Amino acid sequence: LNIALSLEQDCKNATIRVYDILGRLQMEIISDTNLSRGEHSFSTNLNKLNNGVYLLITQIDGKYSIDKFANF
């Protein structure tokens, strides 16, 4: 899984997590991380996840983004 973030300003608290469809935390990609303004990319291996549908929840300074993806 590759994640690209483009930040217009510095961020003091960024978290990216993967949850299963039932809302259980499966993976933490970054947690409470400071990020500078600009482009950032993160990648992680999904081999540990079972086949199914997951939610990628990105939190940047209190604002949330939720994306759904399938792992097969």
pLDDT in tens, the chain (72 residues): 999 999 999 999 999 999 999 999 999 999 999 999 999 999 999 999 999 999 999 999 999 999 999 999
Tell me the Ramachandran region of residue 14: left when phi exceeds 0, alpha when psi lies from -120 to 50, beta otherwise.
Answer: beta
Q: For 29-47, write each residue's pLDDT tens digit.
A: 999 999 999 999 999 999 9
Mean pLDDT of the chain: 96
* Rounded distance between C-alpha atoms, residue 42 and residue 30, angstroms: 9
